[in-house]
Amino acid sequence: MSLSFSGQVALVTGGAAGIGRATALAFANEGLKVVVSDVDAAGGEGTVELIRGTGGDATFVPCDVTQDAQVKALMEAILAAYGRLDYAFNNAGIEIEQGKLADGNETEFDAIMGVNVKGVWLCMKHQIPLLLAQGGGAIVNTASVAGLGAAPKMSIYAASKHAVIGLTKSAAVEYAKKKIRVNAVCPAVIDTAMFRRAYEADPKKGEFAAAMHPVGRIGKVEEIATAVLYLCCDNAAFTTGHALAVDGGATAI
């Protein structure tokens, strides 16, 4: 099955590395113009250079997704550069805490909720008017398998990802008749710098992370990128309000 895209411009937040970078490259490989955004300017520019190195068209725009003015400015920059927005992958997020609920603190809670929830809400708030002006489009938000059930010792992170799925489903219903599709991708453990920070310092935790997936390994960033592109493409025109687990069978247990 070949992917079928009718639009021209895709935005990837959290595009400096990992899943965001892989997805930005995948969009570019399909011929789309890509806006890469992140608080990590060096990483974001690096993603753009990788795209341009293969003949693609990409632009980096710095943005802290927790700041309304910066998200609004990001949308203005997209219009200035390309005149339209067709697809958005709201991927910016921060990592899990490591501890039981009662051991958490307010600073940690506010940081996780600020990026993972407020950031997704602000992005959709400002993306939807652009998509309405285009007569439709698609948004994919990064949730997690932690948003599909319990996640011991990372309750704040899990709550943030449950919230992302709630935002996704609600927006999908609100804008379905306006031809805007909104879905979420729910990765399990993926081989990213975030994973390595959390697990590789303790090899036993890394082994456990692999074993928790029935396929016997952690996921690859390219596998999440493939899922995101499917949810955006015209072949998924009847899919909206869905939280797609890409998890090596972890949620099937």
Cβ neighbours around 98 below 10 Å, total = 11
**pLDDT one-digit tens code per residue, 52-74:** 999 999 999 999 999 999 999 99
CATH 3.40.190.180 is the classification of domain 9-190+221-244: no
| pLDDT value at 200 more than 70 | no
**pLDDT one-digit tens code per residue, 19-65:** 999 999 999 999 999 999 999 999 999 999 999 999 999 999 999 99
Catalytic residue check, 87: no
Name which of 49, 33, 31, 29 is nearest 41 in CA terms.
49
Q: Tell me if residue 108 falls in helix, strand or coil.
A: helix
| pLDDT value at 2 more than 70 | no
| pLDDT value at 1 more than 60 | no
| pLDDT value at 154 more than 80 | yes
| pLDDT value at 164 more than 80 | yes
Distance in angstroms (rounded) separating the CA atoms of residues 229 and 222: 11
| pLDDT value at 86 more than 80 | yes
Task: Give the domain ranges of the chain.
Answer: 9-190+221-244
131-136: long-range pairs with CB below 8 Å, 24+? 131/85, 131/86, 131/88, 131/180, 132/175, 132/178, 132/180, 133/84, 134/7, 134/84, 134/85, 134/86, 135/179, 136/178, 136/179, 136/180, 136/181
More confident position, 2 or 160: 160
Residue 243 in tokens: 């939280």
The pLDDT of residue 208: 81
Name which of 218, 212, 132, 141 is nearest 178 in CA terms.
132
Query: With contact defined as beta carbons under 8 Å apart, do 246 and 227 qualify?
Result: yes
Q: Given 157, 175, 199, 230, which residue is catalytic?
A: 157
Residue 57 in tokens: 């068209």
The pLDDT of residue 204: 77
Query: With contact defined as beta carbons under 8 Å apart, do 41 and 60 qualify?
Result: yes
Q: Spell out a b/e string for 199-231, using b for 16 or more CB atoms within 10 Å of the CB, else e.
A: beeeeeebeebeebbeeeebbebeebbbbbbbb
